[in-house]
């Protein structure tokens, strides 16, 4: 057994671009997923039965099927309905739909934990409805569930490795390309695995730090 | 292009789902066994056991499952083993399940008051006796709901083994799509079969959790 890493490192620029795309893709999905998750979590609290049921069905369906199948469905299945998507858009849509379902569950728990008296206090102070929602309900809820959101985001970032299977040129895709050139499969995947671990660690730290800035009243590490 | 009736597609997919179920069972049971060893190492309070176990758990949890599968598929042959997709799929999923189960079980064990350990040891029981007779039965109650919940992750994780060519539900879906050109129908069916496998497990996990919360 003989390992050769130098051949792999000749392709360092490809790895860098791949890593960048992986991080950007996951981050874009995370931001869009957070917005969609907030909409869904709040939609469930409106008390409209049909809407609540539709959101529950969406959340359960996403949470109980593999992301890879969701990705294939969006990329291969939707065009037959006349919706043509390039690989990158399909990956982004699938990631957003996936992450939003998990965020909905987490955010709902956070929103439910805020006492009704707070919203009433906000109204008594003369705040407008959107002010009450954003400042009195959403912000404390986000603060409470931020660590759970970060964990889920990191899981989705790691799970995004499969978008390489529809030819999105992410970190894993570059790995498969380099492997096809060098036949050094184990070395290249070891390097990529370490890159994923490093990126996951850095993303987690950065986001927890962001949480500490956004919600300074929340005890750190809680 | 070959013609398949809807019924034929469904039966072929259900046949492939059998491989998904088998792989899930092997991964869950094998992962449970390895996970139990890791859990024991973590709660043993011996650094020589605790540190490597913690390292393995953290390493597996911070890399993509797909990379774990690739490393097993391409790495084990370097050790002179002949590796089929089935073997690589089993090995990587066992490792994956073990790391997450060990974490779930360790936190359940830590929720058991420390005095229970000490009382057991004071009565002259060995570490394994205290663990098996005193702590594990109490921790089990706490551990069952998240363990059942994690089995959903295992079933979903098996889909990734399609990428190294193991023929299970997702792979069968891709292959059928290639010959029938009916992606919407095929992948919708594939998703529905996964849902039928996973949703009951999710429901059971939630029921058990609620039951536990009431006690």
In tens, the pLDDT along A78-128 reads 988 888 899 999 999 999 999 999 999 999 999 988 888 888 899 899 999
CB contact under 8 A, B63 and A73: no
Name the token pair of A173.
């895709």
Rounded to 10 degrees, the C-alpha dihedral B188/B191/B196/B200 comes to -140
Residue B31 forms part of a structural domain: yes
Q: Are A98 and A121 in contact (CB under 8 A)?
A: no
B194: nearest CB among A3, A66, A190: A66
CB contact under 8 A, B63 and A79: no
Name the token pair of A203.
């993303």
Residue A222 has pLDDT above 50, yes or no: no
Helix (H, G, I), strand (E, B), or coil: what is residue B169?
helix
Residue A172 forms part of a structural domain: yes
Structural domain total, chain B: 1
The residue-averaged pLDDT of A171-187 equals 92
Give the minimum alpha-carbon distance from A62 to chain B in angstroms, rounded to a whole number: 9
- Domain of A13, in residue numbers: 6-214
Residue B197 forms part of a structural domain: yes
Residue A95 forms part of a structural domain: yes
Structural domain total, chain A: 1
Inform me whether the C-beta atom of residue B142 falls under 8 Å from chain A C-beta atoms.
no
DSSP H or E segment with residue A214: helix A185-214
Residue B180 forms part of a structural domain: yes
d(CA A72, CA B196): 18
- The predicted pLDDT at position A184 comes to 86
Rounded to 10 degrees, the C-alpha dihedral B172/A163/B68/B140 comes to -80
Residue B1 forms part of a structural domain: no
B187: nearest CB among A72, A165, A192: A72
d(CA A99, CA A155): 9
Binding-face residues of A in 139-158 toward B, CB within 8 A: 158
Cα angle A65-A66-A68, degrees, rounded to a multiple of 5: 135
In percent, the amount of chain B with pLDDT more than 90 equals: 87
Phi-psi region of A215 (alpha: psi -120 to 50; beta: other; left: phi over 0): beta
Long-range contact list for B186-190, CB < 8 A, 24+ apart? B186/B9, B186/B13, B187/A69, B187/A72, B187/A73, B187/A76, B187/A77, B188/A73, B188/A77, B189/B9, B189/B10, B189/B13, B190/A69, B190/A72, B190/B13
Inform me whether the C-beta atom of residue B156 falls under 8 Å from chain A C-beta atoms.
yes
d(CA A66, CA A68): 5
Q: Which CA distances in Å does A66 have to A72, A161, B75, B140, B195?
A: 10, 13, 25, 28, 9
Name the token pair of B159.
């889909």
CATH number of the domain bearing residue B119? 1.10.3720.10
Any alpha helices (H) in chain B, and if so which ranges? Answer: 6-43, 47-61, 65-75, 85-110, 114-122, 127-129, 136-157, 169-180, 183-214
CB contact under 8 A, A159 and B65: yes
Inform me whether the C-beta atom of residue B175 falls under 8 Å from chain A C-beta atoms.
no
Q: Are B63 and A193 in contact (CB under 8 A)?
A: yes
d(CA A166, CA B150): 27
CB contact under 8 A, B63 and A68: no
Inform me whether the C-beta atom of residue B151 falls under 8 Å from chain A C-beta atoms.
no
CATH number of the domain bearing residue A177? 1.10.3720.10
B191: nearest CB among A65, A78, A162: A65
Rounded to 10 degrees, the C-alpha dihedral B133/B138/B140/B142 comes to -170
Residue A221 forms part of a structural domain: no
pTM, full prediction = 0.92
DSSP A161-192: GGGGGGT--SHHHHHHHHHHHH--HHHHHHHH
Q: What are B126-178's pLDDT values in tens digits?
A: 999 999 999 999 999 899 999 999 999 999 999 999 999 999 999 999 999 99
Residue B153 forms part of a structural domain: yes
Among chain A residues, CA nearest to B199? A64
- Domain of B189, in residue numbers: 6-214
Which of A5, A19, A77 is the best mutation test for B, with the most CBs of B within 10 A? A77
């Amino acid at each position: 057994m003989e390992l050769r890493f130098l051949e792999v490192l000749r392709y360092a620029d490809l790895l860098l671009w791949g890593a960048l795309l992986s991080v950007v893709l996951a981050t874009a999905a995370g931001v869009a997923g957070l917005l969609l998750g907030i909409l869904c979590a709040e939609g469930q609290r409106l008390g409209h039965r049909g809407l609540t049921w539709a959101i529950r069905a969406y959340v359960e369906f996403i949470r109980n099927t593999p992301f890879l199948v969701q990705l294939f469905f969006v990329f291969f299945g939707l065009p037959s309905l006349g919706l043509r998507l390039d690989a990158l858009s399909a990956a982004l849509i699938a990631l957003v739909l996936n992450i939003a379902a998990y965020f909905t569950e987490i955010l709902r728990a956070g929103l439910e934990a805020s006492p009704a008296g707070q919203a009433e206090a906000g109204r008594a102070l003369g705040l407008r409805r959107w002010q009450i929602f954003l400042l009195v309900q959403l912000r404390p809820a986000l603060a409470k569930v931020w660590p759970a959101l970060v964990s889920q985001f990191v899981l989705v970032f790691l799970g995004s490795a499969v978008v390489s299977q529809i030819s999105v040129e992410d970190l894993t895709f570059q790995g498969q390309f380099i492997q096809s050139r060098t036949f050094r499969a184990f070395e290249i995947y070891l390097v990529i695995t370490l890159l994923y671990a490093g990126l996951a660690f850095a993303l987690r730290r950065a986001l927890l730090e962001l949480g500490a800035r956004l919600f300074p009243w929340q005890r750190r590490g809680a | 292009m070959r013609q398949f009736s809807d019924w034929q597609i469904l039966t072929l997919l259900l046949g492939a789902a059998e491989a998904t179920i088998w792989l899930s069972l092997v991964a869950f049971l094998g992962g449970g066994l390895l996970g139990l060893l890791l859990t024991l190492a973590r709660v043993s309070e011996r650094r020589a056991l605790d540190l490597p176990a913690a390292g393995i758990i953290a390493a597996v949890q911070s890399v993509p499952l797909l990379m774990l599968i690739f490393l097993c598929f391409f790495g084990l042959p370097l050790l002179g083993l002949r590796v089929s997709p089935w073997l690589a799929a089993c090995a990587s999923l066992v490792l994956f399940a073990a790391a997450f189960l060990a974490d779930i079980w360790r936190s359940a064990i830590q929720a058991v008051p420390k005095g229970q350990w000490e009382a057991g040891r004071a009565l002259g029981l060995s570490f394994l006796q205290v663990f098996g007779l005193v702590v594990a039965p109490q921790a089990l109650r706490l551990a069952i709901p998240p363990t059942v919940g994690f089995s959903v992750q295992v079933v979903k994780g098996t889909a990734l083994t399609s990428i190294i060519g193991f023929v299970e539900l997702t792979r069968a879906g891709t292959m059928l799509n290639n010959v029938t050109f009916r992606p919407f129908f095929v992948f919708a069916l594939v998703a529905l079969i996964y849902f039928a496998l996973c949703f009951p497990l999710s429901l059971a996990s939630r029921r058990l959790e609620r039951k536990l919360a009431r006690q």
